[in-house]
A and B are shown apart, each in its own frame.
Chain A
Amino acid sequence: MAAQLLPSEYAAVIRREKFMRLLALFFGILLVSAIIGIIFMLPSYFMLTFSKAEVLRRLEVQKEAFAHLDAKTTENRIRDIHRLAETYYANESRRKPIHPIFEKIAFTDDSRVRLENIELKQENQKTFVLSLQGFAATREDFLAYVAGLRDIDGFEVVRSPLSNLLNDEDVSFELEVELSSKLYQYAKKP
């Protein structure tokens, strides 16, 4: 332990003096830092304050220019066109051509089997039924025609009543053909 040469009252004065000097140094550093901070922050402050008015003015001008553009009209126009295009494609997907049905039933030789009446109607909300009335030269011709119809892709069921088979010659017939949904279907709006 170091020997204490100073009287105790001097030692206390020196400790207080040291503390006061440290405190003064601390506040001095704080003051210098604050002044340096102020010096460095002032240009930014003035620059921001002056540019704020300019930026806000630019914003107002931009808002006015945007309002003059009438963006709503353009947006509505684009939305309408989009809706029309969507509806168009949806409608096209629901569309079913009827001419393939004509081609399918007209395969027969006119001199042997002759169609008199053709009727296409909806049996229920979706399925279509084709009613065929006509004449066949012989029962064999009629049976061949029915067999031909049954082989056609898209003709799901061919209904032929027994009365069609009563005559051997000059056969008057009535047929009902249920069409597949792939061939002909009334698709509701998606």
Chain B
Amino acid sequence: MALACFVAVLLYRNIRIVGEEVLIAERSIASLEEQERAIIQNRKLLDASSDIIKDIESVFLSDDTFVRFIEMLERFAGISGVVLETRSAEPASGKEKNKTVVKFEVRGEFGAISRFFILLDESVYSGMIEDLRIAPAGKGTNILRAQASFVIFSFTQAL
């Protein structure tokens, strides 16, 4: 009788231990399966949003892609009818590492210069004019010379 009781207690204890182990393992499997599904879902989402992601990435400039900004300035100059001369481009001083200051000069009539800055305001690259000086290019002419410093906020390392 004692043996029967002992066997029963032993069986019960083993069932509980093994049952707990199996339960933990099942929960881990379910959790991993859920994470796997989430990752696959996210990958699909990334693939589906690749165009938007490319657009977001393209608004950030790096050393490698900085030329795109210069090309954009040249394109705006062509559209607005001003003559563009890029002076310098250097990292901004201070704590903000992800910005660069581009100094340039545009020459043209007031309307053309305004058009150029309207286009610049609407450009995809975040930034703003930090310093601007507009003066006549010479005596007896309508042509103005605008010297500007444009701070690009979104200057970062490429992903």
Q: What sequence of 0s and 1s flags, for each residue 147-159 of chain B, a beta carbon within 8 Å of any chain A beta carbon?
A: 0000101101001
Which residue of the partner chain B has the closest CB to A84? Answer: B56
Report the bound CA distance from A31 to B19 in whole Å: 26
Q: Which residues of A contact B133 (CB under 8 A)?
A: 117-120
Report the bound CA distance from A188 to B95 in whole Å: 10
Residue tally, chain B, CB below 8 Å to A: 57
Whether, in the assembled complex, A143 has its beta carbon less than 8 Å from a beta carbon of chain B, the answer is no
Residue tally, chain A, CB below 8 Å to B: 55
Q: Which residues of A contact B70 (CB under 8 A)?
A: none
Whether A99 contacts B22 in the complex (CB less than 8 A), given A41-B11, A63-B32, A186-B130, comes out as: no
Whether, in the assembled complex, A65 has its beta carbon less than 8 Å from a beta carbon of chain B, the answer is yes
Report the bound CA distance from A102 to B30 in whole Å: 63
Report the bound CA distance from A117 to B135 in whole Å: 5
Q: Which residues of A contact B86 (CB under 8 A)?
A: none
Q: Is the CB–CB distance between B12 and A41 below 8 Å?
A: yes
Q: Is the CB–CB distance between B136 and A99 below 8 Å?
A: no
Other 11 A-B pairs with CB < 8 A, given A45-B14, A62-B29 = A27-B1, A30-B5, A31-B4, A34-B1, A38-B11, A45-B15, A74-B43, A88-B60, A88-B126, A96-B128, A186-B128
Question: Which among B14, B110, B154 is the interface contact of A88 at CB below 8 angstroms?
Answer: B154
Stretch of A6-14, A53-61, A152-160, A162-170 with 4 or more beta carbons under 8 angstroms from chain B: A53-61
- What's the minimum C-beta distance from B37 to chain A, rounded to whole angstroms? 11
10 shortest interchain CB distances as A-B pairs: A91-B126, A97-B121, A34-B4, A91-B153, A120-B132, A118-B134, A37-B8, A34-B8, A31-B1, A99-B118
